[in-house]
Amino acid sequence: MNETDWQDRYYDVDQILNTAGPRTDPEFLAGDGVKDFLRNKAKILVIGAGGLGCEILANLALTGFKDIHVIDMDTIDVSNLNRQFLFRHASLPKDVGRPKAIVAAEFIMNRVSGVKVTPCVSLDFLLVSHESFRYYGKIQDKDDEYYLQFNLVICGLDSVEARRWMSATLVNLVDPENPESLKPLIDGGTEGFKGQARVILPTVTSCYECSLDMLNKPTAFPICTIANTPRLPEHCIEWASVLEWPRVHGLDKKLDNDDPEHITWLYTIAAARAKEFNIDGVTWSLTQGVVKNIIPAIASTNAIIAGSFALRITLLFTYGSLASCCNEAFKIATSSAAYLNNYFMLIGTEGVYSYTFEHEKRNDCPVCGGEALELSISSELTVEELIELLVERQDVQIKKPSLSTPTMQLYLQAPPELEKATRPNLQKKVKELVPQQGEITVTSRSLPFSLSLSISYT
């Protein structure tokens, strides 16, 4: 593509970059300077190349970003093709079975000339193919230097744990003596017809950990309800998968959530039980959703949250009516408009409704707050019960926590020798081991931070 073709493609984008507007940052450098930064210097990391990630990658390329890196450790499945539009079933070679990161990068570079998309490079995966070990990667495998090379990071993940890890990592990178160490994080997510996009400025705005209490709590059905008094179609499906499957097939035949024949069997059994109890609503798709604990993905929601720039970028910036991941990336990279502060939510279940708000930082946030979380517990509570409380608590949500005090180890999940040595403490009361207003440090191998608890007793 020659320079004239490039200018024609980004004509609408250039209208924004050529002239300052009423919401332009005072440091905005209209004209060639900002274009040069956007197209030749800005380096963007996209984490996730699924439904949302495919949209983000395409929109970034069509907006003018030329140096894009993408991490995804998954491969393409047939079920992805209805919404992850960068992948094909009939192409040669077939995309199904290949790494998402490499296929997405190839597609973007083939369709948008002049753009370089670099799949994640990792040496810890070895594929028996010509693609060998080069394109897989986990965000947890990367060191600080890897993340410091980017101007901003965009997450299109479907994992709360991965989001928490990424947010905490970028907070830990910030060096007050080096402003360049602050890497803005743009996070997007969708659930059916609902979606959200947010801007996190590490150590400045609230981080992902600050807003854990906004997440939907995972649903668990009491076994007595699903066994004796089902009231919902989900109860019937849980009964079929948890109780009937092992009874009929035995413990040796494991239920495969990805096997259509297994899902069909569960659907048939659950539908029969629902009919027995006069319950409506058992469907094949609901059966799959309950068993796999998934919410159906809606392609249009992904598109809205990612942000479509190709045709309507001028309208987006003029009216500010659609906040999105790529919209915010463009504004942060160019200073051409005020970026989101800091939360946008789409409520599409009953129409196209959205709202924005600023989520406040938590002083007791273990990532960016600095203060201990005050926890009042019963004087009869055991260490094991405290662990269960931390796992279930909405603003903590920590898996397999290990507990220690400044003077002793209460319980360690690993290594096996220390787990065995501290196991007797599980049945002891916390009060026997930790004094009033004593401090407990909680850690987990899945998260790059520790949580400080200030314990009081009732």
Q: Which residues have a catalytic role annotated?
A: 224
Q: What span, in angstroms and rounded, lies between the C-alpha atoms of 90 and 88?
A: 6
Tokens of 444: 């987990």
Q: Are 269 and 233 in contact, with CB atoms under 8 Å apart?
A: no
Could you write out the three-class secondary structure of 234-296? HHHHHHHHHHHHHHHHCCCCCCCCCCHHHHHHHHHHHHHHHHHCCCCCCCHHHHHHHHHCCCC
Query: Could you give the count of Cα atoms lying within 13 Å of 314 in the half-sphere of its Cβ?
Result: 10
Residues 6+ apart with CB under 8 A from 420: none
Among candidate residues 40, 153, 65, 61, the one with its CA nearest the CA of residue 106: 61
Closest Cα partner for 190 from 340, 305, 343, 328? Answer: 305
C-alpha 169/C-alpha 344 separation (Å) is 23
Q: Is 48 left (phi over 0), alpha (psi -120 to 50) or beta?
A: left
Pick from 61, 45, 56: nearest CA to 306: 56
Residue type (1 letter), 156: G
SS3 of 369, please? coil
Instruction: Report d(CA 348, CA 327) in Å as an integer.
Output: 19
Report the greatest alpha carbon distance in the chain.
76
CB-facing half-sphere around the CA of 161: CA atoms within 13 A: 10
Rounded CA-CA distance 80/17 in Å is 36
Pick from 71, 99, 100, 98: nearest CA to 84: 100
CB 234 within 8 A of CB 221: yes
The 451-457 sheet, strands edge to edge: 373-377, 451-457, 438-443, 402-404, 409-411
Map residue 223 onto helix, strand or coil: helix
d(CA 146, CA 168): 15
Cα angle, residue 82 at apex, residues 81 and 86 outer, rounded to 5°: 50
